[in-house]
Amino acid sequence: MAAEGFRALNENTLVEYIKATPSLCSQLGNLENLQIKEVGDGNLNFVYIVTTSSGSLVIKQALPYIRCIGESWPMSKERAYFEAITLQKHGSWCPNHVPEVYHFDRVMSLIGMRYLAPPHIILRKGLIAGIEYPLLAEHMAEYMSRTLFHTSLLYNTTTVHRQEVAKYCGNLELCRLTEQVVFSDPYKESEYNRYTSPYLDNDALAVREDDELKLEVAELKAKFCEQAQALIHGDLHTGSVMATHDSTQIIDPEFAVYGPMGFDIGAFLGNLILAYFSQDGHADAANDRKAYKQWILKTVEDTWKLFEKKFTSLWVENKYGFGEAYLSAIYTDTVFSRAQEKFMKALFHDSLGFGAAKMIRRIVGVAHVEDFESIQDASVRAVCERQALDFAKKLLKERRGFQSISEVVLAIKKVPS
């Protein structure tokens, strides 16, 4: 637990905090023209942009409750600690796509980090606006392959791995939140569930009454709770990525834990697919969004293919390294190739399953996505959401039948508009 002494800062008290913190002052330079703007639109925290004439940074402070719900849902401030150390760990392996941490105050649950200046915007907002990001698939594949590989037993000894797993076991509250909102609430009556009513009332009921779906979700929940494959971001949706045409930065890893690799991959792919199904709701006379929908699907396909290529290349490069999952003394070249093939096939199907579960929870669970929520006409929104929900259910139940990402994309294209 963090020590006593926490206090929630505002624009005024943050000024005094910054002046008393050398690591922040050094990034800002002259403090005479210091300006602070609160920009937190997330579910959990306060986020401030701090600028001067000679520097800038972002301050993020965790609250002892879920911001979007209030004090009725308490939440440990220690999530800031796990976010800070994950930014540092992931940043060490993928510095081009993770913002640098300048300062961390565990008592205050406060992180000071690099400000991602405009034209960086939240990727989800860019997808709603119909912006194409030519390097997105390449960058996300780079981030996921490097962070997942280098924090797994494919790269590390069992001793190092167990030590790291033990460290992250402390992030149990956010793990339990994930377990609840992703794997439990959408499949039962819950006071927190919401959906586009009355249009999706029967669809939400169908989810709660689908026994086959529940069995598949139970299997995924067990994997999430039991499988400590790698240090995952834990909430890698399109709202946790900031992008420009040539830059992609991953933020907000406060849900980080050692878990199944497919949870991160699936979260990102699933959110791209949600963006795809939302596009008809954003179409207008000037832009029917059809070309943009095809770009999204190409990005889905390219992301997995590039991830698979980069991940397996790292594995081959480090075949004779410290990783103890597949010892070179045991696994000859032929067996090694078979092991890789089996591993990647399982990871692909895991990613599809977790991606589908993340899609379902964003439609009939507690926290929705702006992709759909920004569609003003509820009847139009519901049509888009139903298409996504029906596909997600199919993907979750039939994921093992897909042998390639191209087959998944083809199945999406076949969904009636």
**3-class DSSP assignment, residue 386:** helix
Task: Please give the model's pTM, rounded to 2 decimal places.
Answer: 0.96
Confidence grade of residue 70 (pLDDT, cut at 50, 70, 90): low
- Mean pLDDT for 385-405 is 98
Least confident of 73-82, 112-121, 193-202: 73-82
Q: Are 252 and 42 in contact (CB under 8 A)?
A: yes
Query: What's the pLDDT band for 75 if we cut at 50, 70, 90?
Result: confident
Q: What does each C-alpha distance from 397 to 154, 213, 364 come to in angstroms? A: 29, 6, 17
b/e map 25-39, b = 16+ CB within 10 Å? bebbeebeebebeee
* Domains of the chain, earliest start first: 11-114 (3.30.200.20), 121-414 (3.90.1200.10)
186-205 pLDDT, tens digit per residue, is 999 999 999 999 999 999 99
Partnered with residue 232 across adjacent β-strands are 257
Summarize pLDDT for 10-64 with one digit per residue, the tens: 999 999 999 999 999 999 999 989 999 999 765 678 999 999 999 999 999 998 8
The band of 74, judged by pLDDT with boundaries at 50, 70 and 90, is confident
Q: Which of 254, 183, 262 is nearest to 227 (CA)?
A: 262
Confidence label for 68 from pLDDT (cuts 50, 70 and 90): low
Q: What are the two backbone dihedrals, phi and then psi, of residue 6, each rounded to the nearest 5 degrees?
A: -70, 140
Give the span between the Cα atoms of 277 and 265, in whole angstroms.
19
> Confidence class of residue 1 from pLDDT cuts 50, 70 and 90?
very low
CA gap 248, 339 in Å, rounded: 32
Query: Predicted confidence band at 67 (pLDDT cuts at 50, 70, 90)?
Result: low
Question: Using CA of residue 402, residue 128, residue 240, residue 132, what is the dihedral sign?
Answer: positive
The single-letter DSSP state of residue 243 is E
The pLDDT of residue 43 is 61
Name 38's Cβ contacts closer than 8 Å, sequence gap at least 6: 10, 11, 46, 47, 48
Is the pLDDT at 8 greater than 70? The verdict is yes
**Residues paired with 47 in a beta bridge:** 60
Cβ atoms within 10 Å of 295's Cβ, excluding its own: 18
Q: Which two tokens stand for residue 326?
A: 């597949």
Average pLDDT over residues 109-134: 98
List the structure tokens of 172.
């149990």
pLDDT for the residue numbered 42:
58
Specify the pLDDT at position 363: 98
- Whether the Cβ atoms of residue 242 and residue 116 lie closer than 8 Å to each other: yes
Closest by CA position to 84, among listed 57, 56, 112, 50 = 112
Task: Give pLDDT, residue 260.
Answer: 99
Over residues 271-329, the pLDDT tens digits come to 999 999 999 999 999 999 999 999 999 999 999 999 999 999 999 999 999 999 999 99
Task: Scan for tokens 């991830």, then name that residue.
Answer: 307
Indicate the pLDDT class of residue 69, thresholds 50, 70 and 90.
low
Average pLDDT on 65-78 reads 75
Q: What are 46's two structure tokens?
A: 């306060």
Given a contact cutoff of 8 angstroms between Cβ atoms, the answer to whether 354 and 266 are in contact is yes
